[in-house]
Amino acid sequence: MTEKKPSTSLRLIIFLGMLTAIAPLSTDMYLPALPEVQMDFGVSTSLVQLTLTMTTLGMALGMALVGPLSDLLGRRRPLLVGMLAFVGATIGCVFAENIYLFLLCRFLAGFAGASGVVIARAVARDVCEGPELTRFVAVLMMVNGLAPIIAPIIGGQILFFAEWRVTFVLLTLIGIALAGATFVYRETLPREARSRNMMDTLRKFPTLLRDRYFLGHCLLQCFTFGAFFSYLSGSSFVFQNIYGVSAQGYSIIFAVIGAGLLFAGVLPARLAGRVPDIMMLKYAVLVPLFGSILLLAGFVFAVPLAVIVILLFLTIVPLSVMGTASFSLALSRQGKNAGSASALIGCFSMLLGACMMPVVGIAGDHTAIPMGIVMLCGYGLGALVFYGMIASDHPVMR
């Protein structure tokens, strides 16, 4: 593996981190503006939350296509096309005149932006393995973790002097920058390691899903990220409509929790090689489950804002450790199937979240109970999958 070491340069890490940040940038930056978007289009809470759903669903489906394509064509070409398409779709968001055109553009932006997320992870597997892979993925999560901190703050500040559409102007500029960086990216998947044809690539999906251990990681990420996305779609309404927090105040609260995600991402990198990944994953599953129980109780009994923020911090922050440990464990057994495996994990992590986002607003924008229930169910199912399909098949946990 010594010939791969030069590829793990600081420039590559930053580039891949920015690519994985496409997902939180596309959603978190306009979270403070959701109530304003709702008023501008004159639609219900659930329908405006559907804009997040369309982005997430587009990403899930895009990952399922782009992952196999990157195993077939290499990483660079699908990534470049994806970034250019992301730019075009985001420009469409700027000029959308009704909610339905906006929903379409959000779906297309998510579909195209998926190329950045899934290919960045596949490249990590191209250049690293073992504890080094865990460290590299952890560093990517740390770089990626900056996005949930700065994105809502930027979005909130934009609302001080401009309308919400300016947020998508900024996202367009970010997409242009990433497309430019892709031009100078050096391919990491040699021709001899690529799939022979698309059908050969697609046939990897059933093979991967028949692997109980790998499927367990897919389901774990499906349920836990489903809980996380319910927080994304519901938090702006909870803080602004129920607790009376301003858009700028909400962006600060969101950024504090995002900072926790960032710093929690340091743990897998520091502990890799000393603490088994499976043990990190175990506690990253159990802590949010405990936190979500307390959070739902807090919503039911209408506890003060400060308590809710603390409970959300406890519930959301371990996600950084869970994502890194689970992804590293899942791909450690895959090798040349990294693109397809990364695509499946990414797809599973988005699908349930896309479905749950409108559910959070089903009871209106002045109750947090649906969000609490969805989060508890997600983390509870994640814990069941961990013990039933992952821990039972890992030598350290037997």
The answer to whether residues 229 and 59 touch, using CB atoms and an 8 Å cutoff, is: no
Of 55-64, 243-252, 307-316, highest mean pLDDT: 307-316
Instruction: Report the SS3 class of residue 196.
Output: coil
- DSSP calls for 326-374: HHHHHHTTTGGGHHHHHHHHHHHHHHHHHHHHHHHTTT-SS--HHHHHH
Query: How many CB atoms sit inside 10 A of residue 4's CB?
Result: 13
What's residue 173's pLDDT?
95
Q: Which of 45-49, 134-138, 248-252, 359-363 has the highest mean pLDDT?
A: 248-252
Higher pLDDT, 168 or 341: 168
Q: Is the pLDDT of residue 6 over 50?
A: no
Per-residue confidence band for 345, with pLDDT thresholds at 50, 70 and 90: confident
* Residue 47 confidence (pLDDT) above 60: yes
Segment 256-291, tens digit of pLDDT: 888 888 788 778 877 877 888 889 999 999 999 999
How many angstroms separate the CA atoms of 20 and 15, rounded? 9
Token readout for 22 is: 């496409």
The separation between the first and the last C-alpha atoms of the chain, rounded to the nearest angstrom, is: 30
pLDDT of residue 218: 92
Least confident of 11-15, 139-143, 164-168: 139-143
